[in-house]
Structure 1
């Protein structure tokens, strides 16, 4: 039975896995195994956190394991679930959790045929590399059709000093899109800002020196004044002639670069 003494299996050794494993170990959870299709990745991650068992074969799942954290890319979740479903293991009283922001727990439905509960558990944070991101004070979205799984994941979040909330299945894509606008497209906008400064006559300062102060001030304004009261510039002032000049300049820039960066 999965509970605070659960035997945890990490499946996937990618960018988010190290941060999840770090949080679990620091909170004294029992991480039993690390599994990854790449044997070296599984070994490196396991040894980094002194997890004794690791493998690149899902058939090596131990029968007393009961909490499975699928830290694999979105496009691998279904195939991994189908592989696990074929194993000759009864997963009654087990919980399978994936970490996708866009996909619901429904993608794990095949595992319910083996008696398991399923859920999605998304952390609203960016994990651009395998470097450890501290989980404390981050917000987690818990989406599941199981009351038991929901209660457990709320308790797990709190034990990790995180802030959980219940996310309804039909709202997952909107929730994920909000994160994409706030992080991915934000970086894309800055890449576009860098692009418009290229091939100018002016010898600009370093991009970080020139642009990051206004970015920092904008974010601080949003924190203190709210979104609507933080808008400034020609749009806020209604300066149509300035906006028209911007549009004319943008016509001279390679549209494909903007589409890729955005």
Structure 2
């Protein structure tokens, strides 16, 4: 595969390096940022090319820009008459469907989306963890996408284009909102007198233990704590003491925990005592 990169950010640079290692040919890169190109060239010695040079020379074109720029790139390629029949245009957005590249109905290109389900802090970090990363694959040539992901050392998952926003929302909940939950827990520890820097350090092993349980036993078995036990009095105590700004968040999470708790007990052939279940639902607003 001869490929080109438009947008020399972390993802584009890491993809170029890994695909080259897998035996594919990187023809070059096009980027507006001189600093991004200098960083790119520090990892892979390829020329910066104008679109007129890059696009006709490749059979796969990766658009690894910010989401809002992706359709603008496609429009620019059309405006410059840089549309190569049969070429595959690929973007790496988690929230946008591959069809965002099809800015005209009759474009003779095939569109594909490959989204790495991972948070990359730097190019170095991306190169360390790209192998083993799960990818959402969606578009007109999903088999090619699956092959590319495997060449990257990744694990492909085909997703529905019509529901891709929900896929991305799930990724945001699992990654970004995990940091938000940690912040909420640190706030509560601080209210209890533990300095914030100590609070995070003390919470991380607990969070890592939960992640380990998720990996080891999965859902819903990894759920522990007062709602899993059906301890309504503990939940009431929490709600009595919580700062008002956190109450509704706690209740929403608690209702989801109660769903998991019911599933966990069902697998074990058990159920919550009716009085206990009603009390928990009443406390949590369910």
* 2:100 is the alignment partner of 1:92: no
* 2:58 is the alignment partner of 1:65: yes
Q: Give yes or no for contact 2:5–2:62 (8 Å, CA) kept in 1.
A: yes
Partner of residue 202, structure 2: 210
Query: Pairwise mapping of residues 177-188 of structure 1 onto structure 2 (< 5 A)?
Result: 177-188=169-180
Q: Where do 5+ consecutive residues of structure 2 fail to align?
A: 251-286
Q: Return the TM-score normalized by structure 1.
A: 0.83
Q: Give yes or no for contact 1:18–1:131 (8 Å, CA) kept in 2.
A: no
Q: Where do 5+ consecutive residues of structure 1 fail to align?
A: 1-5
Partner of residue 166, structure 2: 174
Partner of residue 254, structure 2: none
How has the CA–CA distance of structure 1 residues 36 and 231 changed in structure 2, closer, same or farther, with 3 Å as cutoff?
A: same
How has the CA–CA distance of structure 1 residues 166 and 252 changed in structure 2, closer, same or farther, with 3 Å as cutoff?
A: closer
What root-mean-square deviation, in Å, do the aligned CA atoms of Structure 1 and Structure 2 show? 2.4
Q: Deviations over 1:110-146 (max 9, x none)?
A: 26644211111112111234433232222222211x3
Q: Return the TM-score normalized by structure 2.
A: 0.77
| Count of aligned residue pairs for this structure pair | 246
Distance 2:130 2:239 in 1: 41
- How far is 1:62 from its partner? 4.6
Partner of residue 3, structure 1: none
- Which structure has more relative contact order (CA 8 Å, sep 6+)? It is 1
Q: Give yes or no for contact 2:135–2:154 (8 Å, CA) kept in 1.
A: yes
Query: Pairwise mapping of residues 70-149 of structure 1 onto structure 2 (< 5 A)?
Result: 70-110=63-103, 113-133=106-126, 134-144=129-139, 146=140, 149=141
Larger radius of gyration: 2
- How far is 1:60 from its partner? 4.3
Q: Give yes or no for contact 2:3–2:61 (8 Å, CA) kept in 1.
A: yes
Partner of residue 266, structure 2: none
Q: Deviations over 1:38-64 (max 9, x none)?
A: 12212321342111x115x53443522
* 2:48 is the alignment partner of 1:54: yes
**Aligned with 1:239 (options 222, 231, 244):** 231
Runs of 4+ in 1 over 6 A off after TM superposition: none
Q: Give yes or no for contact 2:4–2:62 (8 Å, CA) kept in 1.
A: yes
Q: Deviations over 1:57-96 (max 9, x none)?
A: 5344352222111111111111111111111334112110
**Aligned with 1:13 (options 8, 14, 25):** 8
- SS of the residue corresponding to residue 232 of structure 1 reads coil
How has the CA–CA distance of structure 1 residues 254 and 173 changed in structure 2, closer, same or farther, with 3 Å as cutoff?
A: closer
Partner of residue 34, structure 1: 29
How has the CA–CA distance of structure 1 residues 247 and 16 changed in structure 2, closer, same or farther, with 3 Å as cutoff?
A: farther
Q: Give yes or no for contact 1:112–1:118 (8 Å, CA) kept in 2.
A: no
Distance 1:209 1:62 in 2: 49
Distance 2:175 2:244 in 1: 27
Structure with the largest fraction of helix: 2
